[in-house]
A and B are shown apart, each in its own frame.
Chain A
């Protein structure tokens, strides 16, 4: 269905090609998963499928891309609209109309589909993706999962043979991600749609994939293979695979269900030893909320949240999209003013403190990291950050090099990949080393390597007496780094306790290792390896 034949893509003005000598085939009805590090060229590969590269982005494409027998050299993206449906990273940015139903019909209108056919397909798609309840709603009023499903539906109504998705679940909470993946699974199994999808969150998607396309970036060659085979040696792998490698299971399980069936032996070997968890020495109180109420107009985002966070803690803030996580973080830096109650950060009232002094007390990496970046090059950005936070020259760049070693310093921050940009914003805020550090969804678009480096830095900060609060949907990251988890629902704090207590028992928030080894209280592969070491 899709055939890449020695494809090399070079953008205008770039010294290195973004993709080099890529050849692979994806047969009809398969779900192909594109993996690779942040900024390795996954988006370029996806956009080459419907001709956006090079027709829309410019640059040169050598070699040949065939989709359903059509050569993208002769067909523009709009001429391929009936064969390839494209869903971008941010669904909101791709919406053309303002209600769900109109959005679903848009591509069919452009293709000139007859009105009665259009009506039928819209109804079918509404049912297929479970959108019938929100059909009249404005797109801006939808939740993240509903938006993503609408975007998929909008690409589907023209009955394309190929559906291309760029990180469809990275911004979604675990429940919404499952809705989207279930919908995709139905498309592949029942309708025979060929799906090509890029995703960093392998733990969510690897079990559904029929084929893995690995884009290593740089000069290394793109390779494809079966998921189970690739995972044996892949440098990036979800916890279920790492556990399988550790226990020496063969064939390697890719889903929690398969791993659980293989895990009986491992569970009995682990029966006596408990995971060793060092108690955290707690310091002074660095964040405090007392009966905090925040509302936007008639919507109450937080109703009566009280909490206290001490130095040395890493707190994960969880909950579905719109539960009030960002609102809580924004109140702690004084971007939002409470309707009643108080929020205190490192002993100061963030609303009444001069920003220059406030950044010495609390730092926040916002959800849109680009908002923090002003300079024209990465190097400039680092030196302005040094002077903004009055730290020794070069400290921001040193942090950036630790987080993302391969970010080109002469690039414009907007031209970086989403993950690289996030690393830059993280480095900017981290170089101030504020006692209280807040991170709003720091793992969106980050690959496993960058996540591992982020975890190491956060642990170091906590050990050095900082308090870290991160809002995230990434349960694996939470299991690795958090000492305490708070779950928000509908603006209220519904649970607050040690990580193991809160997430191990929850069906939505339990990490893969906990699901596989339940009822044993292990959360990460590292803990299991430790326990096995001690047992032998």
Chain B
């Protein structure tokens, strides 16, 4: 067996595999509002993240997404409490003071009675969104989006670099803003103004991008694009259209927004366009790639585990298996066997993905 196929030999898993797995888990979450299944999906992704994440700065993003998820649930519940009507049920919890609204807002109610059904529904709906967010967070924590962009096909290279640069600048702007705000104190100013906050930050960002562009130019960026401009634009357009088609197709398949044949057609056309464009674009690229991430057995297993989890949920949803959607907000959520087993298979990457390399200093000791 070749070294790359070993499950236990330390190396970084292909970022694409992590993202596919995480997206599959998100698809699984999108099929249910059963809190038991949602919590189970969250636990599975959280466990895999804690088992396989590195100690790089971006590896902490799972917690950040978890907090974002809690925020989403909170906002959802509060809004529901403010706007709730008795349409979902009649179990009265408490009554908020009702704010009278003018006539043109008839049908909208602010404050008033709050029912348990309304709150629980909001909790479950928000929970579903939160769990899907956490799946994206898991992908972020396991493989930095930059590494994913690195494995983009050559035809998309320029676009990838632009994204990478943008990804660096966003966090940099935050630190700059903090620094400039601190510096404002040093001039004895208390009030913020556009001139004293945004200007220095933006000027700094502009300076840095010019500096980075100069560095990239000196290091040979853009040196190999010898193809005529028209051809380059055509390829880029085809790639974009293709990706759009894929996006549309996948969305339609998942949400029943379009008839099945139409959605499948969009997906197929998209894939075809994208593949063709990349094949053409590839010819003009004479860049090479340093240590490309291999795609071997562990990657296949990780993706398969995600696919099984998503597949189980989607199949269950299509077959109408009991327990994915609750009969009413206040019933005790059931535990359907097939989806639970499916989601649990999503745990496989915690052992199947190769462990990370131990830091050198530890290994020497």
Residues of A within 8 A of B (CB): 47, 50, 52, 55-56, 76-82, 84-86, 88, 90, 93-98, 101-102, 105-115, 118-119, 122, 132-133, 136, 138, 140-141, 154-155, 158, 330, 333-335, 354-356, 358-360, 363-364, 366, 368, 370-374, 385, 388-389, 414, 428-429, 432
Contact = CB atoms under 8 A, between A and B. Distances in A.
Interface residues of B, number: 53
B195 interface: yes
A424 to B, nearest CB: 13
Contacts of A388: 187-189
A335 B185 contact: yes
B144 interface: yes
Contact of B224 (A94, A108, A112, A330): A112
Contacts of A47: 214
A80 B219 CA distance: 8
A370 B200 contact: yes
Given A97-B146, A335-B185, A370-B204, A50 B218 contact: yes
16 contacts: A76-B217, A93-B212, A94-B215, A96-B212, A96-B215, A97-B150, A112-B287, A136-B357, A138-B57, A155-B219, A158-B219, A333-B185, A355-B187, A358-B188, A366-B179, A388-B187
Nearest to B201: A371
Contact of B218 (A84, A115, A141, A372): A84
Interface stretch (B68-76, B98-106, B288-296): B288-296
A356 B212 CA distance: 37
B255 interface: no
B220 A158 contact: yes
B187 A359 contact: yes
A118 B214 contact: no
Given A52-B218, A107-B220, A136-B357, A94 B212 contact: yes
- By DSSP majority rule, is chain A's interface helix, strand, loop, or mixed? helix
A109 B222 CA distance: 11
B257 interface: no
Contact of A52 (B164, B214, B224): B214
B146 A113 contact: no
A105 B188 contact: no
Q: Which 7 pairs between the two chains have the least Cβ-Cβ distance?
A: A94-B215, A81-B220, A105-B290, A110-B220, A359-B188, A371-B183, A86-B218
A344 B24 CA distance: 56
B219 A154 contact: yes
Contacts of B222: 78, 110
Task: From A101, A356, A366, A374, name the one whose CB has the most chain B CB atoms within 10 angstroms.
Answer: A374
Contact of A96 (B164, B223, B290): B164
B221 A78 contact: yes
Contacts of B146: 97-98
Interface of B: 56-57, 144, 146, 150, 161, 164-165, 168, 179-180, 182-190, 195-196, 199-200, 203-204, 207-208, 211-224, 286-292, 357, 359-361
A335 B190 CA distance: 13
Given A82-B220, A88-B215, A374-B199, A112 B57 contact: no
A79 B218 CA distance: 8
Nearest to B359: A136
Contacts of B291: 101, 105, 115, 119
Given A77-B218, A119-B291, A335 B203 contact: no
B360 A113 contact: no
Contacts of A113: 288
Contacts of A98: 144, 146, 168
Given A109-B289, A414-B203, A389 B224 contact: no
A136 B215 CA distance: 22
A201 B51 CA distance: 49
Nearest to A366: B183
Given A78-B221, A110-B219, A414-B203, A334 B185 contact: yes
B179 A368 contact: yes
Nearest to A134: B360
A56 B217 contact: yes
Contacts of B161: 96
B255 to A, nearest CB: 35
B166 to A, nearest CB: 13
B94 to A, nearest CB: 39
Contacts of B187: 355, 359, 372, 385, 388, 428
A362 to B, nearest CB: 9
Contact of A86 (B165, B184, B215, B290): B215
Given A97-B164, A119-B290, 8 more contacts: A56-B214, A56-B217, A86-B219, A88-B214, A101-B291, A112-B288, A335-B182, A373-B200
Looking at B161, B195, B219, B291, the one whose CB has the most chain A CB atoms below 10 A away is B219
A373 B179 CA distance: 13
A76 B222 CA distance: 11
B193 to A, nearest CB: 9
Contacts of A95: 215
B211 A88 contact: yes
A473 B116 CA distance: 65
B211 A90 contact: yes
B226 to A, nearest CB: 12
Given A90-B211, A133-B361, A374-B200, A109 B288 contact: yes
A381 to B, nearest CB: 11
B364 to A, nearest CB: 9
B311 to A, nearest CB: 34
A481 to B, nearest CB: 22
Contacts of A432: 188
Nearest to B146: A98
A77 B289 CA distance: 21
Nearest to A121: B290
Nearest to B291: A119
Given A78-B217, A78-B223, A81-B223, A355 B287 contact: no
A97 B165 CA distance: 9
Contacts of A335: 182, 185
Contact of A372 (B186, B213, B223, B359): B186
Contacts of A355: 184-190
Nearest to B12: A136
A136 B359 CA distance: 9
B362 to A, nearest CB: 12
B200 A371 contact: yes
Contacts of A97: 146, 150, 164
A113 B219 CA distance: 13
A110 B287 contact: yes
A352 to B, nearest CB: 13
Contacts of A138: 56-57
A79 B185 contact: no
B290 A118 contact: yes
A108 B185 contact: no
Nearest to B171: A140
B222 to A, nearest CB: 6
Contact of A356 (B150, B190, B207): B190
